[in-house]
Amino acid sequence: MNFIRIKKNNSYHSRFQVKWRRRREGKTDYYSRKRLICQDKRKFQNQKFRFVVRISKKFVRCQYVCSFLYGDEIDESTNSRNFLRRINYYTRVNRSLKNFPIAYLTGAELAGKYKTKDKNSKPVSAILDIGLTRSTIGQKVFAVMQGAVDCGIFIPHSEKKFPAYNPKDGFSKEILEERVSGKHILEYRCLLAEGDEEAFNKQFNPKNNR
């Protein structure tokens, strides 16, 4: 069998096409984005919305986005930073602005803001867009989604990605409510306070969680 050696000459480099910048930086998966924004031809005039969730090192950000040929339009957005001053009672547990309860409240806040802004009687629906986040069981992006779903936004999803799901016992709504209320954080806080004071001051000291 004869092998042909491909030489990277001037003709080859003239045909070489560089990947898009955000693809080279690893920020956007255009393969999945194409399938999120493409609309069925039979529904071409209907807008297709995305419920975009991004979790950074400190905050949770979610947006209600619609895509057009000229780019994306953000109809409504919110950030978990808004809870820093408004929820004073929660600071007794933890000042973190990206944990599971805060993620749930961020999604609920966006749903409430959009439904107040939208005066149409049509049901509000969207598709969850988690970007490059891994869709593992118990991810905080699904807490944001659940907060939006509980406040009236229809997002197609499965209960298998929630931390309250067990393949043997199925989905437990009570466990999910405990996670949303922050009971697991309070129990862990009490455990550290009794056992390891150094670890408690490092993780739950207000000066370190601002």
Tokens of 11: 């003709």
Determine the pLDDT at residue 207: 55
Token pair 């891994």 is found at 134
Determine the pLDDT at residue 119: 60
**Beta-strand relationship, 165-166 and 127-129:** unpaired
Distances (CA, A) of 44 to 37, 40, 68, 167: 11, 6, 11, 39
Name the 3-class secondary structure at 31: helix
Query: Residue 148 carries which side chain, given as an amino acid letter?
Result: A
Name the 3-class secondary structure at 204: helix
Determine the pLDDT at residue 90: 45
What is d(CA 103, CA 92) in angstroms, rounded to the nearest whole number? Answer: 17
pLDDT per position as a tens digit, 22-70: 999 988 899 999 999 988 888 877 888 999 999 998 899 999 999 888 8
What are the b/e assignments for 11-39, b being 16+ CB within 10 Å? eeeeeeeeeeeeeeeeeeeeeeeeeebee
Looking at domain 28-38+45-208, which CATH architecture does it have? 2-Layer Sandwich (3.30)
What is d(CA 115, CA 200) in angstroms, rounded to the nearest whole number? Answer: 40
Intervals of the chain under pLDDT 70: 1, 6, 85-95, 118-122, 205-210
Determine the pLDDT at residue 116: 82
